[in-house]
Amino acid sequence: MNSLPINNVLLHPDSQGDNLSEWLNGNGGSGLINALSKPDGIIDIIKQAGLCGLGGSGFPTYKKWQLVNTQSNDRDKYLICNGNEDEPGTFKDAYLLSHSPHQVIEGAFIAALANGINKIVFYINPEQIIGLEKISIAVEQWQNSTLFKQIEQVLNKPLSIRVMASSGHYIGGEETAAIESVEGNFPFPREKPPFPAIYGVYGCPTLVNNIETLANITHILNHGAQWYQELGLGDCAGTKLYCLSGDVLKPGVYELPMGTALKTLIFDMGGGILLDKKIKAIFTGGASNTILTSKDIDVHLDFESVKAQGSSLGTGAMIVISEETGIVKQVTEYVNFYAHSSCGQCPSCKTGTFYIAQILNKIDTGQASTLDLDSLINLCKILPGSGRCHLLDGAIKIVDSSLLHFTDEYKHSLKT
């Protein structure tokens, strides 16, 4: 019997469902009503709650909101609800969109009220056909509600909502790439600064928030900052949707207190490793961060603790690899994905990810020499920091850390 409070907020049965009347008669609506009564106090509540962006960065939500809030309301202001979700091993936003669209939409309305936003875009991966449909229907229900009219009254302008399929490129989830996409362009990430909060969609102030972040806002405004803080373990606030996959018995999305130990996620929730094998490695936060090994099994899954362990919590996705799985094959698979996903506007990323993938494929198929391995090691030294976005660095991190921990496996794969 597990004593951890699981699935107690976003995945709680009361938060599910796609009927607005049922949502408003149950758990929903109160957060929005509180926000409508005191829009000027919303950001402070989010600050006190300690909510950080759950789309990968862990950036304090209130800071980004303050920047958007202080931009002039004379112009359009945009909110992009980021549901692009294409990171390997990450599937939490798809779950929220298709099972509980109302808590996400209510969170978006609260964000709009806090920041004077009059244009909301739900930006969803085209493969999430159910999510796209559920959000579209749910938005229509809200648009016919009295609460929606009250939002427009408080905003003092019409509120437009667009539900759009993203282009489906992994890179389209990066916030400035999402902005380009909303403008109808290919999702090429932009240079920063200027930051989206100041210069976003068509040059207007733009807030980009992840779907899980927005869903949390609904509950924070309903129950208060202190309630949210107390949900986490130790100094951590809130819960986290951890995506568990790889060589575990029970992969899935698990809602647990922020700061839950990795071993609890893998063994108590995930039922342990397939065939009772040992853990070899864990790709954290998707597959674009320094990999962890069995030595890190006690790490607490929150932004600070995973960072202290030399990696990053990222999206909260944990891909577990057992001793039965070849690390070179696994890393090669992910780097092939990144090489394919590179948007190509930074020469170091376009050629670097391609070249790394080429070497890895050679190693994985037993065709590489020690010279190839040396080239790989060198590339990991010279390329970091030379791309405009995190894609290149993410690819390097998994190669570099796997080389560090599993040198022998790489060497054994070389041609003799």
Q: Which residues contact 321 (CB under 8 A, 6 or more apart)?
A: 246, 247, 279, 280, 281, 282, 283, 327, 330
Q: Which of 41, 203, 252, 344 binds ligand SF4 (CB under 6 A)?
A: 344
330 binds ligand SF4 (CB under 6 A): no
Closer residue to ligand SF4 (CB): 29 or 387 = 387
Closer residue to ligand SF4 (CB): 89 or 387 = 387
Q: Which of 155, 214, 256, 346 binds ligand SF4 (CB under 6 A)?
A: 346
Rounded to whole angstroms, the Cα distance separating 131 from 416 reads 50
Q: Which of 50, 89, 189, 232 binds ligand SF4 (CB under 6 A)?
A: 189
Closer residue to ligand SF4 (CB): 31 or 88 = 88
Residue 1, both tokens? 């019997």
Closer residue to ligand SF4 (CB): 64 or 169 = 169
Q: Tell the smallest beta-carbon distance from residue 168 to ligand FMN (Å).
A: 11
350 binds ligand SF4 (CB under 6 A): yes
Stretch that binds ligand SF4, among 153-161, 289-297, 382-390, 405-413 (CB under 6 A): 382-390
Q: Tell the smallest beta-carbon distance from residue 177 to ligand SF4 (Å).
A: 8
The radius of gyration computed from the CA coordinates of the chain, to the nearest angstrom, equals 22
Residue 411, exposed/middle/buried by CB under 10 A (0-12, 13-18, 19+)? exposed
Stretch that binds ligand SF4, among 124-132, 210-218, 230-238, 336-344 (CB under 6 A): 336-344
Residue 245, both tokens? 């996959």
Closer residue to ligand FMN (CB): 228 or 406 = 228
The half-sphere exposure of 293 on its side-chain side, counting CA atoms within 13 A, is 10
Cβ atoms of 173 and 87 within 8 Å: the answer is yes
339 binds ligand SF4 (CB under 6 A): no
Distances (CA, A) of 159 to 108, 149, 168, 383: 12, 9, 26, 44
| Residue closest to 79 by CA, chosen among 58, 100, 109 | 109
- For binding to ligand FMN (CB under 6 A), which residues are involved? 53-57, 59, 82, 84-86, 171, 173-175, 208-210, 213, 389-391
| Residue closest to 287 by CA, chosen among 256, 315, 253, 322 | 315
Cβ atoms of 151 and 159 within 8 Å: the answer is yes
Task: Find which of ligand SF4, ligand FMN, none residue 349 binds, CB within 5 to 8 Å per kind.
Answer: ligand SF4
Q: Tell the smallest beta-carbon distance from residue 380 to ligand FMN (Å).
A: 19
DSSP string, 139-161: HHHHHTSHHHHHHHHHHTS--EE
Q: Tell the smallest beta-carbon distance from residue 209 to ligand SF4 (Å).
A: 21
Please report, as ranges, the residues that interact with ligand SF4 according to CB under 6 A: 171, 189, 342-346, 349-350, 387-389, 391-392
